[in-house]
Amino acid sequence: MLSPSGEDYLKTIYELIVGQGRAVPSQVAEKLAVSPAAVTKMAQRLQEEKMAQYSRQKGLSLTLAGEKAALKVIRRHRLLELYLIEALHYTWDRVHEEACRLEHVISDEFEEKIDVYLGRPTRDPHGAPIPTKDGHIEEERHPSLTELPSGRTGTIQQVDNDDAELLRYAASMGMIPGAEVEMLNQEPFGGPFHIKVAGKKRVVGRELMSHITVAIRE
């Protein structure tokens, strides 16, 4: 049985590999707000438990057992986020921290009841795919909203960030999964973007745009 801390490491390593192609100890330390020494110690423990591997060239990687364990935690986290919104009426900027605490303690039975209650959902409130019970996940590759060409439209797929302030701001701008967005133009020299979201014109900076993915219409 992994400790909650061990589960956090597996989840973080998995998400870094999916998002950036690799996971190095310094990135894991930054994400989890721990020291490099703590990452080294946990990496050794995960290797002993045959959950992860580490090399200086490739960084941290997960074994099949480690990936399965990571996806189980991710599944619970994303189901909990949606449950907190649908059943308990949390706003989407408040669910991450609550789900982080609860994901380590709920039982398999409670997880199943949440899944049934929600109608077997496939995405969490932020648009991220929810792994299936058997550990399968559809990791879709969509471009950042910054890559939407001028004059083209698309549908927001995911707001990939757990920063509460950023999520509140995105929601206030109507930039949520499922919203239609049109790229009008970008100011020169790396300036802000002019877009239309749900029929309203907005001026948005690169920082927010870079955390949003979009399916571009043909």
Per-residue pLDDT of the chain (218 residues; tens, 9 = 90+): 689 999 999 999 999 999 888 999 999 999 999 999 999 999 999 999 999 999 888 899 999 999 999 999 999 999 999 999 999 999 999 999 999 999 999 999 999 999 999 999 999 999 999 999 999 998 778 999 999 999 999 999 999 888 899 999 999 999 999 999 999 999 988 899 999 998 899 999 999 999 999 999 87
Strand partners, 59: 55
Looking at the DSSP bridge assignments, the partners of residue 200 are 197
Residue 51 vs residues 26, 66, 145, 188, 217: alpha-carbon distances, Å: 19, 4, 35, 47, 40
The domains of the chain, with CATH numbers, are: 4-62 (1.10.10.10), 145-216 (2.30.30.90)
Distance CA 140, CA 157 (A): 10
The pLDDT value recorded for residue 172 is: 94
Mean pLDDT of the chain: 94
The pLDDT value given to residue 55 = 86
Residue from 179, 134, 173, 183 nearest 158 by CA: 179
Q: What's the confidence (pLDDT) of residue 138?
A: 84
The confidence score (pLDDT) of residue 203 equals 95
pLDDT digits (tens, 9 = 90+) for 166-212: 999 999 999 999 999 999 999 988 899 999 998 899 999 999 999 99
Predicted pLDDT of residue 94: 94
Using alpha carbons, select from 77, 16, 4, 86 the residue that is nearest to residue 42. Answer: 4
